[in-house]
Amino acid sequence: MIRTENIVKSFGDNDVLKGITTEFYAGKPNLIIGSSGAGKTVLLKLLIGLFQPTSGKVYYDDIDLFSLSDERLREIRMKVGMLFQGNALFDSMTVGENIRFPMDMFTKMTLKEKEKRVDECLEMVNMEGVNDRYPSEVSGGMQKRVGIARAMVLEPKYLFCDEPNSGLDPKTSILIDELICDLTTRNNITTVINTHDMNSVMGIGDNIVLLKDGNLVWQGDKTQVLESKSSVLQDFIFASPFLRRLREDALKQRHAQE
């Protein structure tokens, strides 16, 4: 579990996060949503420790992330996997070498053991047999899956995904969501996903945190979204007239069933 306590982050005079207190649970996908500029990416980078908060604390289970020495922080980070918006795959390495990199750096496994683990991870994301291809030689959706495989290679306790669906078609987006959700529940990982994608919210949102102007304005799960009276949530998720109509229809249907 990851817990934040009154996180404030300012860049000069600009307060980007204004006291966020929340929890992200293990074994379920935790979604951070909000419009552009709401502070999602800053919160995610704070959770990972790439930014220092102006004030407040981040706890990994009971460990205060920002009280750790650089060396201890690196130890914690070895339990963290991250899927970047742009994948951040190393262009000069093949898919197999990308996935193997964390093992090369931190383990004493033999080459054979590492290659076996690479194959397992590629199988996990349904990408067998692409070890020798370069990232530029596979599609965007495949790159995402390679990114997930690399994030999972050291069996992380915490997984962070920054906009995992950006640039993907709806069908591939759903596949990526299902994959992340499956890995999260199967391995009891604390997964935090930063997303704009409403399919993700309604599909895998077991714990949703809505940010607006640096404030946490709503928290709940996907089953509570339809019924929620929060105008900020409704304006954000059901932004188009088409989606608003869909919501009304869904609510009518639900009330009729009741």
Partner 1 sequence: MVVTNMLYNLGRYVNLLRDAFSRPEKFSMYYKETMRQMDAIGVGSVFIVLLISVFIGMVTAVQFADQLGDSFVPSYYIGYIVRDITIIEMAPTITCLVLAGKVGSNLAAEIGGMRQKEHIDAMEIMGVNTAAYLIMPKIIAAVVVIPMLVAISAFVSIIGGYISTVLPGTISHTEYVLGLRSFFVPRYVFMMFVKAAVFAFLLTSVSCYMGYYVKGGSIELGQASTNAVVVSDVLILVFDFLIALLLT
Provide the binding-site residues for partner 1, judged by CB under 8 A. 48, 50, 74-78, 80-82, 84-86, 88, 90-91, 101-102, 104-106, 160
Smallest gap from Cβ 19 to partner 1, in A, equals 25
- State the nearest-atom distance from the C-beta of 140 to partner 1, in Å: 15
Q: How far is CA 154 from the centre of its chain?
A: 17
**Least distance (Å) between residue 241 CB and partner 1:** 36
Contacts 24+ apart (CB under 8 A), 85-94: 85/162, 85/163, 85/164, 85/166, 87/135, 87/143, 87/144, 87/146, 87/147, 88/147, 89/135, 89/143, 89/146, 89/147, 89/150, 90/135, 91/134, 91/135, 91/136, 93/134, 94/131, 94/132, 94/133, 94/134
Closer CB to partner 1, 25 or 84, in the complex: 84
CB of 173 to partner 1, least distance (A): 20
* CB closer to partner 1 out of 141 and 147: 147
In order, the DSSP letters of 151-209 are HHTT--SEEEEESTTTT--HHHHHHHHHHHHHHHHHHT-EEEEE---HHHHHHH-SEEE
In the bound state with partner 1, the residue whose beta carbon lies nearer, of 77 and 244, is: 77
Nearer to partner 1, 50 or 251 (CB): 50
* CA dist 87 → 14, 69, 93, 125, 148 (Å): 29, 28, 14, 15, 9
Q: In the complex, what is the shortest distance from the CB of residue 125 to partner 1, in angstroms, rounded to a whole number?
A: 17
* C-beta closer to partner 1: residue 13 or 91: 91
Give me the least distance between CB of 51 and partner 1, in Å please. 11
In the bound state with partner 1, the residue whose beta carbon lies nearer, of 66 and 90, is 90
